[in-house]
């Protein structure tokens, strides 16, 4: 897919921001479902004149701004699940055509509180208090998953809207406080899709496979670096059809739904990080999926 197509896709999101900025200031328009913990936000930034360079930083992470056209840039910001409600700044440093000095601006994200449910689950005891013999694998898995989340390059692998990996309904369990067999564990960092075992799983978008193997808690696991700071992970697969290091195209089958790892039954778990922030995959689809791009929200 050509650069021009991506440009039109990205521009569609920013269409509401047609009014021209006055003077030397930037016009910044957020696209998001809401400004809350666990939400993905895309900022469309329009300059008074050509913007030659733009840097963005939020939540102690350098973000990856992309040029859309001479005056317009976009940057994806993830608001992590555990971000405290309140005002958080996205710091922008930009260089305008004909100016030698760098200018700065701050876009404020007014993060409103979100109440996450608590869910109680019953799973085999080995997934709540794993045996000593499993500790080495659990540690190795954690290291690989951390590397995968950090793998995202400035490379822009995806050129078209994100898609849901399976056609089944997703529950809104993202962010739920999880209690397994009566013991609290980390909050649920993904969306679960009620898909039967054997359902083919599509790559949510183009990218490089950074994990394709069996793991203790997540069972059959595939992680894809989409670039621009976005990484997807699908878990509990019964079958894996890709290899680590290979490229996959949007919609390409990466494996099949299963019930491997710490589960109560067959389903697809899809988790997304945006520059290390845990975001609801459904918020990614709302902003960077076809529907979100059409409505420009």
Binding site for Zn ion (CB under 5 A): 190, 192, 269
Distance in Å, CB of 3 to Zn ion, minimum: 35
Give the residue with the Cβ less far from Zn ion, 11 or 194.
Answer: 194
Q: Min. distance of Cβ 98 from Zn ion in angstroms?
A: 51
Under a CB-based contact definition with an 8 Å cutoff, are residues 35 and 84 in contact?
Answer: no
Write down the least CB distance from residue 191 to Zn ion, Å: 7
- Give the nearest distance from C-beta 73 to Zn ion in angstroms: 34
Report which residue's Cβ sits closest to Zn ion. 269
165: helix, coil or strand?
coil
Cα–Cα distance measured from residue 174 to residue 193, given in angstroms and rounded to the nearest whole number: 11
> In the structure encoding, which two tokens stand for residue 136, read together?
């080495």
Instruction: Supply the Cα-derived Rg of the chain in whole angstroms.
Output: 20
Distant-in-sequence contacts of 137-142, Cβ < 8 A, 24+ apart: 137/215, 137/216, 138/216, 138/217, 141/215, 141/216, 141/217, 141/218
Residue carrying structure tokens 């957020």: 30
- Give whichever of 117 and 243 is closer to Zn ion, judged by the CB atom: 117
- End-to-end Cα distance, the chain: 24
Nearer to Zn ion, 103 or 197 (CB): 197
Query: At its nearest, how many Å lie between Zn ion and the CB of residue 272?
Result: 12
CB-based contacts of 5, cutoff 8 Å, min separation 6? 159, 160
Nearer to Zn ion, 39 or 192 (CB): 192
Please state the closest distance from residue 38 (CB atom) to Zn ion, in A.
14
Distance CA 282, CA 235 (A): 16
Nearer to Zn ion, 95 or 197 (CB): 197
Between 192 and 225, name the residue whose CB sits nearer to Zn ion: 192
């Amino acid at each position: 897919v050509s650069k021009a197509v991506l440009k039109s896709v990205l521009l569609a999101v920013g269409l509401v921001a047609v009014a021209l900025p006055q003077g030397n200031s930037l016009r910044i328009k957020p696209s998001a479902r809401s400004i809350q913990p666990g939400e993905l936000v895309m900022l469309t930034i329009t300059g008074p004149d050509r913007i030659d360079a733009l840097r963005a930083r939020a939540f102690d992470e350098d973000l990856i701004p992309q040029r859309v056209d001479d005056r317009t840039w976009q940057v994806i910001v993830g608001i992590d699940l555990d971000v405290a409600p309140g005002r958080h700044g996205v710091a922008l440093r930009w260089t305008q055509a004909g100016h030698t000095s760098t200018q700065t601006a701050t876009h404020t994200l007014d993060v409103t509180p979100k109440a996450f449910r608590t869910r109680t689950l019953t799973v085999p005891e080995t997934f709540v208090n794993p045996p000593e013999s499993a500790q080495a694998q659990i540690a190795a898995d954690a290291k690989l998953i951390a590397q995968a989340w950090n793998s995202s390059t400035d490379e822009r692998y995806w050129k078209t809207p994100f898609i849901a990996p399976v056609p089944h309904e997703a529950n809104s369990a993202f962010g739920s406080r999880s209690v397994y067999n009566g013991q609290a564990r980390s909050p649920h960092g993904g969306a679960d899709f009620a898909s039967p075992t054997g359902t083919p799983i599509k790559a949510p978008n183009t990218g490089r496979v950074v994990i394709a193997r069996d793991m203790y808690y997540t069972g059959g696991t595939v992680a894809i670096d989409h670039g621009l700071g976005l990484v997807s992970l699908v878990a509990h697969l019964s079958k894996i059809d890709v290899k680590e290091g290979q490229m996959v195209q949007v919609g390409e089958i990466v494996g099949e739904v299963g019930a491997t790892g710490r589960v109560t039954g067959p389903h697809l778990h899809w988790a997304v990080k945006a520059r290390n922030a845990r975001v609801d995959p459904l918020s990614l689809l709302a902003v960077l999926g076809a529907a979100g791009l059409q409505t420009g929200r």
